[in-house]
Structure 1
Amino acid sequence: MSTDRRTLLADAAIAVLADSGVRGLTHRAVDREAGLPPGTTSAYFRTRQSLLTALVSRLVALDQAELRAVGDTLPALRDAEEMIAGLLALTTRRLTGEGRRRSLARYACAIESVHHPELRDILRPRENPARQAARDFLAAQGVTDPEDRTITLLTCVDGLVFDRLVSGGDVYEDEVRGLVEAALR
């Protein structure tokens, strides 16, 4: 079984989930999205659970690669304005284009993980250079517990992204500024 075919199917499953929701995620729908003959997805992922596991694993791999790329190019954050600009760019990128679809799929998987703990284990936040940059910034600003504040800040940013995916609209600089300022207090 080709790893490339599995990746293609997992990417197609992400698109189906983002566009059609959990109920629309079927082996046949993934076959259609991937442009492959009927039965291909079930040949690689026999059960719905194995398809979901592959989808979540691929989603996490894509997210981690993106966050590593952001973190690797991110200079040390010197002030709140740089932090605000970085978070604004990240949240805006996640709300548009391919990032928006992945965000929709990620939230659907998070809800599904309530009933499937094995998915929760895969989805658990991981260390990456972008997360480290936020923690380093907060520590450099004298925040007393930079680890907890980083988690709180990123959770708030995640909530803002979720809100905009559900209700529509853009993420505004003032909103991100408020989150950063709260993390610094």
Structure 2
Amino acid sequence: MTTDRPTVLADAAIHVLAREGMRGLTHRAVDRAAGLPPGTTSAYYRTRHALLTGLVRRLVERDQAELQALGKEPLGFGSAGELAERIAEFAEARLTGEGRERSLARYACAVESVRHPELREILLPRENAARAAVRDFLAAQGVPDAEERTLTLLACVDGLVFDRLVGGGRVPLEQIRALVETALR
């Protein structure tokens, strides 16, 4: 657990945004969520926009760390079925616990980035070990446009996660399998 104040505040802001929505994201709410004295958040993030930018940077940092760590372990998909199972596990993690909180915050920030394009630049998908593993698997299967298919596959999975996050339920493995099979065609 970090004690770096800007990081603690950004993590608290993610929590507030996930629980209270964009309107509930205030300096005072972040102070309360972080368990810090009133005014602490505004000392580090002077404006609401600075707070939102710090939140988005921290969100991306945490997501990238998670994806890099996922890519470092042997991903072990020698078949399309194994790839689908790993993607389904990841999607399920995005719907529960801390993954759910970050997913809710990420989607709120994505919508906000329509009005603040500089946030969109921070949120853009980045290269990471997990994405590279999916791309490499597709390329090894002879998919000629593996990079584009990887982006499409992951965008579809993201859409399923969003749908289940908003509508409830789980991301069925059979839907993930269908997406992987389509990417391989």
> TM-score, normalised on structure 2?
0.97
- Name the residue aligned to 2:139: 139
CA contact (8 A) 1:9 1:41 kept: yes
- Name the residue aligned to 1:153: 153
Give the Å deviation of 1:81. 1.4
- Name the residue aligned to 1:116: 116
Q: Does 1:78 align with 2:78?
A: yes
- Name the residue aligned to 1:13: 13
- Looking at structure 1, the residues matched to 14 and 75 of structure 2 have their Cα atoms a distance apart, in angstroms, of 31
- Looking at structure 2, the residues matched to 86 and 11 of structure 1 have their Cα atoms a distance apart, in angstroms, of 27
Where 2:111 maps in the other structure, the secondary structure is helix
- Name the residue aligned to 1:22: 22
- Looking at structure 2, the residues matched to 77 and 165 of structure 1 have their Cα atoms a distance apart, in angstroms, of 26
- Unaligned 5+ runs, structure 2: none
Q: Give % identity.
A: 68
Give the Å deviation of 1:3. 7.5
CA contact (8 A) 1:77 1:133 kept: no
Runs of 4+ that moved beyond 4 A? none
CA contact (8 A) 2:76 2:82 kept: no
Q: State the Cα deviation string for residues 132-176 of structure 1 (Å, max 9, x = none).
A: 001001111111200110010000000000001100001111111
- Name the residue aligned to 1:95: 95
AA at the equivalent of 1:54 = G
> TM-score, normalised on structure 1?
0.97
Which has the higher mean CA deviation after the structures are superposed, 75-84 or 31-40? Answer: 75-84
AA at the equivalent of 1:62 = R
Q: Give the length in aligned residue pairs.
A: 184
Q: State the Cα deviation string for residues 35-78 of structure 1 (Å, max 9, x = none).
A: 11111101110000100010000000000000011000033531
CA contact (8 A) 1:26 1:48 kept: yes
- Unaligned 5+ runs, structure 1: none
Where 2:4 maps in the other structure, the secondary structure is helix
AA at the equivalent of 1:172 = P
CA contact (8 A) 1:76 1:133 kept: no
- Looking at structure 1, the residues matched to 124 and 75 of structure 2 have their Cα atoms a distance apart, in angstroms, of 26
CA contact (8 A) 2:32 2:38 kept: yes
- Looking at structure 2, the residues matched to 118 and 78 of structure 1 have their Cα atoms a distance apart, in angstroms, of 39
